[in-house]
Amino acid sequence: MRKTAVVTGGASGIGRAVAAELVRRGVHVTIADVRGTEDAAKELGCAGVVCDVSDAEAVRELVTGVAAEHGRLDFLFNNAGIAVGGRAEEFTLDHWNRTIDVNLRGVVHGVHAAYPLMIEQGFGHIVNTASLAGLTPAPMMLPYTTTKHAVVGLSLALRAEAAAHGVRVSAVCPGFTDTPLLDNANPGLPQTEIGLRARTAAVRAQGRLYPVESLARDVLRGVAADRALIVAPASARATWRAVRLSPALAVRAAGTAFRRITR
Residues with a known catalytic role: 144
54-58: long-range pairs with CB below 8 Å, 24+: 54/101, 54/102, 54/105, 54/106, 54/109, 55/109, 56/105, 56/109, 56/112, 56/113
- Of the candidates 241, 261, 172, 156, the one whose C-alpha atom is nearest the C-alpha of residue 212 is 172
- Of the candidates 167, 139, 138, 173, the one whose C-alpha atom is nearest the C-alpha of residue 153 is 173
Rounded-to-integer distance, Cα 128 and Cα 155, Å: 7
Rounded-to-integer distance, Cα 99 and Cα 112, Å: 19
